[in-house]
Structure formats: C-alpha cells, structure tokens
Amino acid sequence: MSSRRKPDWLKMRPPSGERFTDIKETLRDHDLHTVCEEASCPNMGECWSGRNGPGTATFMLMGDRCSRGCNFCDVKTGGMEPLDPDEPANVADSVAKIGLDYVVLTSVDRDDLEDQGASHFAQTIREIKDRDPGILVEVLIPDFQGEERLVRKIIDAGPDVIAHNVETVERRQFPVRDRRAGYEQSLSVLDQVDRESDIYTKTSIMLGVGEYDHEVYQTLGDLREVGVDVVTLGQYLQPSRSHLDVDAYVHPHKFETWRRVAEDEFDFLYCASGPMVRSSYKAGELFVDAVIREGKDVEEAREDARRAASD
C-alpha cells in the first residue's frame, strides 16, 4: 500500500448542483452507466455540474463489468451479462433529454463476445447521429484485440473523434494494464484509424506509475508517428488499497512542461496536461468542438479550451 499523501493540488470539490442531479436522475431512469461513476473519476462534479460550460458525462456501454483486470482501474472484473439490445436507443434518448451537443462514449472490454461488442458500440453512435447529426460524438474504444475488422466497424459508424488509450509507457504496460493489452497493439489501433479515415484520434497517458521522463518523451514520439492528434496526460490516483500503488505525485509545473513538449516539439494539435486531467477531460472536448463546429484554427481553439479549463 502506498503511504504517500496527496498534495494540495489534487484536492477537488465534491459533486453538487442542480445540473449534476438532473444528469444522474436521467441516467438512472434509463438504466445507464457512466465511466465517471464506475471509474471514480475525480472530475465528475466539475463536468456534470457544468462549471466550465454545458454539463457532460461519458456514457459507459456494454455493462458495468469488464472482461479484463487492469491494475489501475476501478471498474469491476468478471461476471459480465448479455448486452442490452435497447442500450443504444436508451443512450441516444438520454443524450437528447440532457441536451448534450458533445457526447463521449466508452465501454468496458468484452472479450467474451464474438465481435467484442464492436457492433453494439457502432449502433450507439448511429442512434445518436440519426437523431441529431449536429451532435459531436467522441468514442473511447477498447483495443478489440487488434482486430482491424472490428476497429473498422467503429470507423464506419462515423464518430467525430476516436480515442484509444495507451495508458502508460511501453515498459510499464504490465503491471499497469491487463496482460491482454499491449503497447504495440494500442498503437496499431490508433494507426489504423489514422490510415483509414479523417477522424480525429486521441489517447491518454497516466503519470506517476513508475515511468521515466525519457520514456514519456519516447511515447509521445511514438504516438505522433502513428498520427495521433490529441493527447492528454494526467496523474494516476489509486482507487483503493488493492490497486496499483502511486509511484509519484507529479507537480503541475512538470505537466505544463509536457504540454509544451507535446504541442511545440511534437506538433500535436492539442495537449491537455495536468494532475486532474483524464482521457475524457472537458478541455479536450472544447478544443475539438471549437475546431469542428466553430471552424477555428488550432491556436485559437487551444486558447479557448485552456481559458475554459482554468475558469
């Protein structure tokens, strides 16, 4: 068990507000899950309460139990149930009821299913787009064991952003991730999206899990090599004593250095980097929204996103 105490910069306000309550009630009414709750995201209060703009939530598809057991993740492992055929429509209905114009979808891994849930995921995207083509849809997908035909199902459904998280540097893939995941496999998923579409690609790296600076630098280079557009870097926080220990709490100044390296040296379109940043962090959504919907150039979109995140 880690005996490290959290520094002051990691303290967050508890979830609250009318917007937060409305979103939670809508999700329960439709028997839906969010990764915000299942993964104990520290930003849930900020995002759901809409403190920096319209409230948002990341919907977690295909149940609340995962077929994999990553040592950093708070989502339960094993005991998966059959897919709910009504879930794609229920998610789309909830999006309309909440009034979201930017939707993030993710899922548990479902290695137990014939197509690992790719068709179900793709159908959810289509249900949302069919109701309102103007809604921007970002998806955070599993690796689908690297099967290109399954990744292609997601591409063909037409989301605006496809994210897949490499999570950490190559050397620390295990014990951080389940042994069925892998660095090269994740890079191949991101590379396929870049090769086969014009969809924006995105990934996330956790810091504080035993990585070295030169490894983070190498990882950023590898990600840019396969065409990743947006990268987020955040602090790993131990969900419980049974999870992977925190190796280090990384200072905000270092996160800012990595942001500059990512944008200025590696030329990522956008980098959200900070202790509380997560893969579905709102600043990243604001950047994509500004580029796609408002047609702003990269520099202007970066400034808008950072201004909103600091408010």
For residue 10, the model assigns a pLDDT of 83
Task: Provide the mean pLDDT of the chain.
Answer: 88
For residue 12, the model assigns a pLDDT of 61
- Work out the average pLDDT over 144-161: 98
Please check whether residue 71 is in contact with residue 117, taking contact to mean a CB–CB distance below 8 angstroms.
no
The residues with which 138 forms a beta bridge, in sequence order, are 104, 161
Considering only 134-143, 199-208, 270-279, which range has the smallest mean pLDDT? 270-279
Residue 157 has pLDDT above 90, yes or no: yes
Cα dihedral 130, 134, 140, 142 in deg (nearest 10)? 30
Highest mean pLDDT of the ranges 7-16, 38-47, 194-203: 194-203
Q: Where are the domains of the chain?
A: 18-309
For residue 49, the model assigns a pLDDT of 46
> Which residues have CB under 8 Å from 107's CB, separation 6+?
60, 61, 62, 117, 121, 140, 141, 142
> What pLDDT, in 10s, does the model give residues 14-70?
555 555 566 666 666 666 665 555 555 555 555 544 444 445 668 999 999 999 999
Residue 137 has pLDDT above 70, yes or no: yes
| DSSP character string of the chain | ---PPPPGGG--PPP-SHHHHHHHHHHHHTT-EEHHHHTT-TTHHHHHHTTTSS---EEEES-SEESS--TT--SEES------TTHHHHHHHHHHHHT-SEEEEEE---TTSTTTTHHHHHHHHHHHHHH-TTSEEEEE---GGG-HHHHHHHHHH--SEEE---BS-GGGHHHHS-TT--HHHHHHHHHHHHHH---EEEEEEEESSS--HHHHHHHHHHHHHTT--EEEEEE---SSTTSPPP--PPPHHHHHHHHHIIIIIS--SEEEESTT--TT-HHHHHHHHHHHTS---HHHHHHHHHHHHH-
> What pLDDT, in 10s, does the model give residues 224-257?
999 999 999 999 999 888 899 999 999 999 999 9
- Work out the average pLDDT over 200-223: 97
For residue 57, the model assigns a pLDDT of 67
> Under CATH, domain 18-309 is a member of which superfamily?
Aldolase class I (3.20.20.70)
d(CA 206, CA 211): 9
Please report, in range form, the residues annotated as the binding site for [4Fe-4S] cluster.
36, 41, 47, 66, 70, 73, 280
For residue 18, the model assigns a pLDDT of 58
% of the chain at pLDDT higher than 90: 68
For residue 195, the model assigns a pLDDT of 98
Please report, in range form, the residues annotated as the binding site.
36, 41, 47, 66, 70, 73, 280
